[in-house]
Amino acid sequence: MTSSDELAFDLSDGIATVTINRPERMNTFTEALLDSLTTVLEGLASDERARCVIIRGAGGRAFSCGMDLTRMAAATAEENQRLIGAGGPLRRAIDAIERYPYPAVAMISGYAVGAALELILACDLRVASEDCRVGMPPARLGIVYPPEGLARFVRLLGIQVTRKLFLTASYFGSADALAMGVVDYVVPAPELEDFTLGLARRLALNSPLSMKGHKRSLALLLDARELNAEERDELELLARDAFSSGDAAEGMAAFEEKRDPDFTGR
């Protein structure tokens, strides 16, 4: 468990802090960053010194704005599908958070959008500053989000909130995020770090066996029916076709050029 250029790690008094460290790019995810996050969390899972992990973004402007769309725009559809789809770096990092046996706490300052919004949902508790903004932009990018990710939103937030996030592609402030169940606590920005650290300290003092037992039990109780092979193939085809579409190319180009996309449905 070592820090990398894109991910910082610290362990003190039973609390691990993992910091997404790309503030110049709004802490967007790269494949290397996601792989580092997976490695750190898998190491923490077997380290009994860490009774709680805080995941945060550097710089204060964003927890993370999700995948690095500049890199995705330069990649092929197949490469992008592998990056965020089943078995890829994004899935592995999110799964590693859920498999971490003790509480994982997301500390959210500024933006948490796209894949970063799913990543914070994988955490057990989420603390946000009053200036936070959350949203799911795939509909503005011409892509279809992976079924594993959509299933997590439906399980945790319900079908209607998931529709609101994905079909509107809007950004929502802290009050809406709290009402939708996206975050658990909202505090003034100057108090965010102290509040989150205080929460983590309380968690770290709880019974280790109780916390591990409850986290595992709740995960099993929440686990919905898995898709059958035919359903999975259908949804993966929808995602692949979207990544290969003209709409996806237009969505990425519009993002880079900071303009509204002009989608054709092809």
Share of the chain above pLDDT 70, in %: 97
Question: Does a structural domain hold residue 255?
Answer: no
Out of 38-42, 77-81, 89-93, 226-230, pick the least confident: 226-230
Round to whole Å and give the CA distance between 123 and 125: 6
Residue 170 has pLDDT above 60, yes or no: yes
Residue among 247, 129, 234 at smallest CA distance from 191:
129
SS3 133: strand
SS3 53: strand
Question: Does a structural domain hold residue 231?
Answer: no
pLDDT in tens, 20-46: 999 999 999 999 999 999 999 999 999
Give the up-direction half-sphere exposure of residue 213: CA atoms within 13 A in the CB hemisphere: 5
Question: Does a structural domain hold residue 247?
Answer: no
Total domains in the chain come to 1
Round to whole Å and give the CA distance between 63 and 20: 8
**CATH number of the domain that residue 63 is part of:** 3.90.226.10
The parent domain of residue 87 ranges over 7-191
Question: Does a structural domain hold residue 133?
Answer: yes
Out of 58-72, 155-169, 247-261, pick the least confident: 247-261
Residue 254 has pLDDT above 80, yes or no: yes
What residues does 104 pair with on adjacent strands?
53
Question: Does a structural domain hold residue 106?
Answer: yes
Q: Whole-number mean pLDDT of the chain?
A: 92
Task: Please give the pLDDT value at position 127.
Answer: 98
Question: Does a structural domain hold residue 251?
Answer: no
Q: Is the pTM here over 0.85, yes or no?
A: yes
Q: How many CB atoms lie within 10 A of CB 217?
A: 10
Question: Does a structural domain hold residue 111?
Answer: yes
